[in-house]
Amino acid sequence: MELTAQKELHQGVEVAEVGDPSQIKEMLMELLFVPNKALKPKIVSEIVSYYEHKSDSPKDEIQMFLALRNGIKKGFVFCQIDQDYRSYGMRCPTFGWLHAQNFEVCKALMRECERFVRENNFKKLRGPINYPKRVGGIGWQTGGFASPMMSGVAYNDPGSNALAYLEELGYKIDSKYSCVDAFVKKWEKGKELDDNIMTRFLPLDEIKALKDQILSLAQQSFYSVLADATGGKHRFEEMMDAYDQADKKVKIVNPEFDPQTYANMPGFIDTWNAADLDNIVSTSIYAFDRNSGELVGILMAQPNLYQLWAEEPLTHMNVDTVIIKKEYAGKGIFSALHNIGKTLLSAVYGYNYYEGTTIWANNDRAIKAIFPHSSPLRTHYVVQKRILRK
């Protein structure tokens, strides 16, 4: 394997920049940990395609470092400055897809990441943020390894000590994220939906037409509340592509479903009557102000692409994004989106697993709204380090 550029040795570990897509693919196929090995070629392809796209972007900086000892590959890491990524509202370099067989390998790789940060005049490095998000997700997983692979949710080798290595190198745990089983039961609290709110499923073209409103709503919420925001136009396009992939495979499994079964659920019949079940995106639901037509709430679940890529029936949903416009809090929108969406989709399309993902431990509103109605599945941690100039 011919390397793009050689770096200095650290305790016998040589670090090299790798920029050729074929070399990156070769490296990932050899070293990347994937719980379901059958999915590895497709996941590697997604990562390489993302790298190629970002390498061509004049607004982004991305590098991949490979660690070797005596010519044998021992680890790798991606380091990136993304125009859309925010940490507490500020742009911040990130590292991701970290694989290190021992402490010295981790040390050598992270030194190169820190050099990259300094060269680009930033003062903080944060991760793991594994791009593309629809594949890699956020954080280092420490619990819940028995849960099924879910696209958009971070995974790593449960036997790896990389998190401990990072802490020894001065990286501090900054954010804890949880994933929960959101299928357990119906949300009772806040079940009354304000009369001025309507909930709707939409065709893909209508969702795309709402792009500016969705991004505006996300920016108002995420950039001011969450520790890690990987939003922006590229993220939106990722989600639309996932919807397009899923819609080609989704089938109605219960055409005889009687909507009157849930006539007492606030908003259910109204939403049902407005839905063209053969044309809607079945994994997201939206709330509007009846008077103004303004978008005031969204629940955008992502189909588990791993099921699609494995040619399995789609039954798993990643409840990835839930946003309620601040001025509309307390109107029953959150519980209505959850109850109507989960109930209708389970009954009609056969979805049977909903996982609420990447819930920030410091987001009190989300914790109070979600945790009483769910059970914990996985835990992830994001670390960061302030990088001193030398």
Looking at the structure, do residues 163 and 211 belong to the same domain, yes or no? Answer: no
Instruction: Look at residue 358 and tell me if it is in a domain.
Output: yes
Number of domains making up the chain:
2
CB within 8 A of 356, min separation 6: which ones?
A: 179, 180, 181, 182, 319, 370, 374
Angle between helices 233-247 and 211-225 (to 10 degrees): 120
Instruction: Look at residue 189 and tell me if it is in a domain.
Output: no
Looking at the structure, do residues 318 and 352 belong to the same domain, yes or no? Answer: yes
Query: 284 versus 371: which is more confidently predicted?
Result: 284
Looking at the structure, do residues 224 and 348 belong to the same domain, yes or no? Answer: yes
What does the block give as tokens for 37? 């090995």
Q: Are 297 and 334 in contact (CB under 8 A)?
A: yes
Q: Are 136 and 154 in contact (CB under 8 A)?
A: yes
pLDDT per position as a tens digit, 297-309: 999 889 999 999 9
pLDDT at 191: 63
Instruction: Look at residue 192 and tell me if it is in a domain.
Output: no
pLDDT per position as a tens digit, 54-108: 887 777 789 999 999 999 999 999 999 988 787 877 889 999 999 999 999 999 9
pLDDT bucket at 232, cuts 50 / 70 / 90: low
Looking at the structure, do residues 172 and 25 belong to the same domain, yes or no? Answer: yes
Instruction: Look at residue 186 and tell me if it is in a domain.
Output: no
Which pTM was predicted? 0.86
Instruction: Look at residue 96 and tell me if it is in a domain.
Output: yes
Q: What is the distance between the alpha carbons of residues 365 and 351, in angstroms, rounded to a whole number?
A: 27
Q: Are 302 and 318 in contact (CB under 8 A)?
A: yes
Q: Are 95 and 77 in contact (CB under 8 A)?
A: yes
Bond into 128 cis (ω within 30): yes
> How many angstroms separate the Cα of 315 from the Cα of each of 26, 253, 350, 367?
32, 11, 6, 25
Query: 365 versus 198: which is more confidently predicted?
Result: 198
Instruction: Look at residue 184 and tell me if it is in a domain.
Output: no
Question: Lowest-pLDDT range, 208-217, 228-237, 311-320?
Answer: 228-237
Instruction: Look at residue 190 and tell me if it is in a domain.
Output: no
Residues 234-261, mean pLDDT to the nearest whole number = 86
Looking at the structure, do residues 201 and 84 belong to the same domain, yes or no? Answer: no
Looking at the structure, do residues 167 and 248 belong to the same domain, yes or no? Answer: no
- Residue 197 is which amino acid? I
Beta strands, E only, the chain: 5-10, 13-17, 61-69, 72-81, 86-87, 90-91, 94-100, 124-127, 129-130, 137-138, 140-143, 172-181, 197-200, 228-229, 284-289, 295-303, 316-324, 353-360, 375-386
Looking at the structure, do residues 165 and 207 belong to the same domain, yes or no? Answer: no
Looking at the structure, do residues 299 and 245 belong to the same domain, yes or no? Answer: yes
Which residue range forms the structural domain that includes residue 308?
A: 197-373
Looking at the structure, do residues 166 and 240 belong to the same domain, yes or no? Answer: no
Tell me the CATH number at 166. Answer: 3.40.630.30
Q: What is the distance between the alpha carbons of residues 335 and 185, in angstroms, rounded to a whole number?
A: 11
Phi and psi at 326, nearest 5°, equal -55, -40
Looking at the structure, do residues 146 and 34 belong to the same domain, yes or no? Answer: yes
Instruction: Look at residue 187 and tell me if it is in a domain.
Output: no
Residue of 177, 189, 217 lying closest to 299 (CA atoms): 217
Q: What is the distance between the alpha carbons of residues 204 and 334, in angstroms, rounded to a whole number?
A: 22
- How many residues belong to the chain? 390
